[in-house]
Amino acid sequence: MTEETTVEEKAVDNWQRFEIVPYGAALHVPAGWEALPPEPANGPEILRATGGPGRNLIVFKIPARGLTAARIAETAQQKLAAHGYTDFTHAETRFAGQPAVSLDFITRSSNGTAIYRTREYFTVRGNAGFILGMGSTTWEEHLPLIEEIARRFELTE
């Protein structure tokens, strides 16, 4: 974490709640997951978490600059495509208890084989965009968990 970031952890119903202070968000993950500091190379990342090999997530908070969640997702897609990610799909959804957009995409090996699939959720509150990104090498197995983590994500005061 950066010096300004504080993560407070509480266990509820076999899930842990990481309150991300002062960013106004709370992440809920299954018991046993661990919060990790952001990696500056990833941009405006405010928290990482892992539940072990193949179970990772990233939370971003960015200036919305008047953009909708859909427009922020489109901008993210352009940046991701420039880094070689492919097979993008968008969907309207709910995230953090409000209307949102999801963006799915694939990481491919040098020979073109799909090796990792990612979903990012985008929503806007006031002047801030919140993004939750999670992926897996075994998509069908991890998708219900990914969806449940997104469903439980909170925007706080």
Give the model confidence (pLDDT) of 35-91 as tens digits.
Answer: 988 888 888 888 999 988 878 899 999 999 999 999 999 999 999 999 999 999 999
pLDDT in tens, 87-113: 999 999 999 999 999 999 999 989 989
20 DSSP β-pair partners = 7, 25
Question: Per the structure block, which two tokens stand in for 40?
Answer: 């500056």
Between vectors from CA 123 to CA 42 and to CA 12, what angle results, nearest 5°? 85
CB 62 within 8 A of CB 131: yes
Q: Looking at this protein, which amino acid is placed at residue 13?
A: D
For the domain spanning 37-152, the CATH number is 3.40.1000.10
Domain ranges of the chain: 37-152
Question: Cα separation of 28 and 150, whole Å?
Answer: 8
